[in-house]
Each structure stands twice: as structure tokens, then as C-alpha cells.
Structure 1
Amino acid sequence: MTTAWATADPYAKALRTGQGPLFLRRTDGWLLPLEVERWCARADEVDRQVLDHCEGTVLDVGCGPGRLVAELAAQARAALGIDVSEAAVAHTIRLGGQALHRSVFDPLPGEARWDTVLLMDGNVGIGGDPSALLDRVAQLLKPQGLLIAETAPVDVDERVHVHLTDARTTSGAPFPWARLGTPALLRYARGWERERQWSAGGRSFVALRTRTRTRTASNSADPPNRTAVISSQRARKPSGESPVADR
């Protein structure tokens, strides 16, 4: 997502209250409801099933209010959330999780050494360019690392520009977003090995594994389980492309 998401008043309000309504609105007026109440609640049974599949250190990209990071922390598992929303990062920390105020395209701790990366709650749409996002995730994971992504429960492959709105107030500039069903994600996942796919509770998931290859990560990268702090860093444009940010 872009900085527009991070600074949008309807989103910050929804996180404060734990309630919607909240939508992504396409330029043609179509609304995609966002599940604020579920995001702000504790991890449910479907979430915990996903977390059971995670290996080693876990990076939750676009962690939102932090239910997954907090659940992993409660299980004494090493996990870090990143999000461009300061309100989301603060909420995650209040729940007992570790989180950083970063875009996935910013420099991140533990690059090329994470065991698992999560793209949940529609975050396969970050930046509106699935191939670029998958390439970036591959840079973050160690060889044979695991990506667990939540996909749309329908067969869709859509790239759009959207606004964030509560149906009363719309804030910020439109930002690029994508909606992907499982077939679409698998088409973009060239160079990845499909490990499994499944559905639970009306939600769909795919587990992909990176193939072993030579990496050029900096030797000075921080370990992934280091103590996290809120950064003042804003989301930036990756390599001159459209601005992207997390949920």
C-alpha cells in the first residue's frame, strides 16, 4: 500500500475503535469491504492453523493491528511485523508483539535470513504488482524459505487504483492495489515451489517455497529476532516505481 493508506483517517479511526465500516473503493465506485473487526480481534482458529505452518523466524508483512504477531509472541516464537501505519504498529506493540514502521520495500532487518514471510488479509495486493512483491519477498527469505499468502476466495486477477473510505470520508490519493485468487498467484510465482494450498473458514491460502540460489545479502543485516522499535521512516518508492506500502 502507499502512504495514502498509512495516513488515511478512516483507517486510523477503525484501528482505534476496532470497528468498520471500512472499504477499498475503486475509481468506478465499486467497494471492497475490509474485515476490520477480525483484524482487530485476537487470532482465531483459522489464523492459528496458518501459524502452525510457519517455520522458524516469521516476518508478517502488512501486520495491521498485529493479531498474528501477538499470537506468535504469546507462543514464544520469534516474529516481527512491519506496517506503514503508525497506528497499526503501535497497536501491535500494545498487544505484546514486535513491529516496525516500514514498507516491505524499505531496508529491513534480517534480509535473506527469514524462515517464513506472511502475506495475510489481502496483502498479496501490496503495490499492485504481484511479480515485484514476490521478488521482494524472495529477497527477504533464506534459501528454501516459506511464504504463506492468503488469496481471494474467488478466481480473480485484478490490478486497480483504490481509495480507502468508510463510505462517509475518503482520505489520501488513490494507490495501486491487486486482488489475486490462488490460480493468479500461482501464475505469478515463477521460480517458487508450490508446497500446498488449502481453504478454511471461507478463506484461501497458498504456501510457496523459495528455491535454493545464491544471494547477495549484506553481512551486516540485523538478525530477524532483534528487538523492534517504531521507526519514523515513511514508505518510499522502490527503484523509482509506484509508491508502495503495507496495509
Structure 2
Amino acid sequence: MSLAFDPVSAYDAAFTGKTTHVVDDGGGVEPFDVAMWSSEPDWVDRELFIDPCDAETIDIGCGPGRLVGALAARHVFAMGIDVSKEAVRQTRDRGALALLRDVYATIPGEGRWSFALLADGNLGIGGDPVRLLARVGEVLVPGGQVIAEVADHGAGLVRERRRLRVDGRLSVPFDWAVVGLDAIADVAASAGMRVVSTQTAGGRHTATMVRNRT
């Protein structure tokens, strides 16, 4: 039996197009939708994430870069960050700016980004959405906005350990979280933010948040 591999290597393998699934704490399995993330943005992506951004935008966990690429094509200054070398390579191949960077590391332009995107469930990164939102708030200009994808009403706040299964090979577990529309206001408040709007398109949901003034 092959030894489990680290999650970053699993993401690298997944983004090359290998068959990948997410395995949750209870053994539930769902597809890891690399094909969607590698494709061109659809109308939902545009309505929820691309059209609202008209100034400097950072995409956290940018994956293969479909959002960053579309923003750059609109002449919006945008940068993606990701821990996957393959994701960063593919984003750059789109002609977009991307860095191999963890969100908790130093990010160029900290305090000067107008928008920060947490699309495709990336509010779950690290399993602690309060800590993540507080960190994202640090990279924004005063009044800057976080646009985060959230789950439907009733999802609440779930913290779990996940694995990626790539071509039958499991990664070691990593922390993840799911935040529903019913929980995002409390999560935002705990991070020193407030929800200013929510939006739904094509069955997907976002919450737009700003930092509370101090």
C-alpha cells in the first residue's frame, strides 16, 4: 500500500487533472471539481466574484487562476496566491499574476488590497474561518471587502479533517471548515468584521464583509 502523501503534493497532483475526491471525517466522498476550476469562468463566477471587483484584488487559494485571469483581462490589477506550485504555474500560464504563498505569510501590498476573494469554499482553509477572516482583513485597505463563498442556510459552522484521494492514493488529513449563510454573520463578527450583503446565483452563495472600524 502506498504511503499517504502531504496535502500540498495532493493538490499539485489534482491540478494536473488526475482523478481526485475529497474524503471527509465520516468517510463521505465527493468529487474534487478540478475541471470547473480549470475552465473559463461561467456566468455565476462573473456575477459573484468578477463583476464586483473594480480595483486591486487578491484571490486567496486561486487554484488554476480562472478568476485572476478574468480580472486581468478586464484590466483590474489582480494577484492570486496558492500553496500549490501547479496551481500557480497554471495561473501564470493564463497571463495572470500569482505567487506561491500561504495566506499567513507576508503578502505583497498588505493593507492596500481593495478586494479579497475566498471562492470555491476557500473560507474553509485551515479549519478556522475566524482566524482566516481576521488575517484577510489585514491585507485590505480601510473599507476593503472580502467576498467569500459560503454554503446554504442550515450548514452552520462545521470544522473537520479532510483528505484528498488522488488516483486511489490518500493524503494525510488536513483541517477544513464549512460555513453556511446562517453562520457567517457570527463568524464575521468574531473576526472583527460585519456582513454587508449576501448574494445567490446559480445555486451558489457569497457573503461580502468589511472590517469593523476601530
Considering the TM-score relative to the shorter chain, is it more than 0.5? yes
The number of aligned residues is 206
Partner of residue 12, structure 2? 12
Q: What CA distance in whole angstroms lies between the structure 2 residues aligned with 1:147 and 1:27?
A: 28
Where structure 1 has 5 or more consecutive residues not aligned to the other structure, the ranges are 214-247
1:29-178 paired onto structure 2 within 5 Å: 29-50=27-48, 51-156=50-155, 157-166=157-166, 168-171=168-171, 173-178=172-177
Deviation at 1:183, TM superposition (A): 1.7
With normalisation by structure 2, the TM-score equals 0.90
Partner of residue 208, structure 2? 207
Q: What CA distance in whole angstroms lies between the structure 1 residues aligned with 2:25 and 2:93?
A: 35
Where structure 2 has 5 or more consecutive residues not aligned to the other structure, the ranges are none
Deviation at 1:31, TM superposition (A): 1.8
1:172-187 paired onto structure 2 within 5 Å: 173-187=172-186
- Work out whether residues 46 and 200 of structure 1, in 8 Å CA contact, stay in contact via their aligned partners in 2: yes
Deviation at 1:153, TM superposition (A): 2.9
Deviation at 1:37, TM superposition (A): 1.2
Deviation at 1:155, TM superposition (A): 2.3
Q: What CA distance in whole angstroms lies between the structure 1 residues aligned with 2:98 and 2:144?
A: 21
Q: What CA distance in whole angstroms lies between the structure 1 residues aligned with 2:54 and 2:213?
A: 17
SS at match of 1:162: strand
Identity %: 39
Q: What do you get for the CA RMSD once the two structures are aligned?
A: 1.7
2:201 is aligned with 1:195: no
Amino acid at match of 1:35: D
With normalisation by structure 1, the TM-score equals 0.79
Deviation at 1:212, TM superposition (A): 3.4
Misfit runs of 4+, over 4 Å = none
SS at match of 2:107: coil
Partner of residue 26, structure 1? 24
- Work out whether residues 153 and 182 of structure 2, in 8 Å CA contact, stay in contact via their aligned partners in 1: no
SS at match of 1:60: strand
Ranked by relative contact order (alpha carbons within 8 Å, sequence separation 6 or more), the top structure is: 1
